[in-house]
Amino acid sequence: MSRIALALTINGQRHDVLTEAHRTLLDVLRADLGLTGTKENCLEGECGVCTVLLDGMAVDSCLLLAAQCQGREIVTIEGVSSRGGDDVLARAFIDCGAVQCGYCIPGMIISATAFLDEHPSPSEAEVREALAGNLCRCTGYQKIVDAVLAAGRTSGTETRGDAR
């Protein structure tokens, strides 16, 4: 079976990876690079715990071959806070008590990051729609939605991170 040499830019850092063609970005992130903040669960694009940013867009890393990411820019939960202003989002999740077991939270933060980049002052309905691809079985979502709305308000008054 052929192995493929890939140059992946992850959280601003270049990683040279040699991997089999069938392995997903999620496999490489967790097993090869030790970036275990991105979670693994349904492997079918239903739950969103594996969400990462690919060229700024939220994608399910379980449904993306690592080979598809050659030359593209990936941001994981480990890299999101290094984007500076996005700590606003993590802070809002803490302040709103939006985290219970925590398993869905990395995916939630990544989806919310991509969403707020495009919609700086969203409505509650827009936030709920934006998080439709991220399941949480603990919180009932209300506090997560509150956190994203709060982060939107905060970043509306402060300057959001331009470290992208």
Determine the interface stretch with other proteins among 28-36, 41-49, 73-81, 91-99 (rule: CB under 8 A): 41-49
> Out of 17, 33, 64, 96, which residue is the one contacting other proteins (CB under 8 A)?
64
**106 binding other proteins? (CB under 8 A):** no
Q: Residue 141: name the closest of 128, 126, 153 by CA.
A: 128
CB of 50 to other proteins, least distance (A): 9
Q: 78: buried, middle or exposed (CB in 10 Å: 19+, 13-18, 0-12)?
A: middle
> How would DSSP label each residue in 87-144?
HHHHHHHHHTT--SS-TTHHHHHHHHHHHHHH-SS--HHHHHHHTTT---SSS-SHHH
Could you tell me which stretch among 20-28, 31-39, 90-98, 148-156 binds other proteins (CB under 8 A)? 20-28
Q: Which two tokens stand for residue 108?
A: 């939630």
What residues contact residue 125 under an 8 Å CB cut-off, 6+ apart?
none
> Closer CB to other proteins, residue 109 or residue 130?
130
The span of 9-17, 29-37, 65-73, 78-86 binding other proteins (CB under 8 A) equals 65-73
Q: Specify whether the CB–CB gap between 61 and 29 falls below 8 A.
A: yes
| Footprint on residues 128-147 left by other proteins (CB under 8 A) | 129-130, 132-134
Q: Which residues of the chain form contacts with other proteins (CB under 8 A)?
A: 1-2, 4, 20-22, 24, 43-46, 48, 51, 54, 57-60, 62-65, 67-68, 111, 114-115, 129-130, 132-134
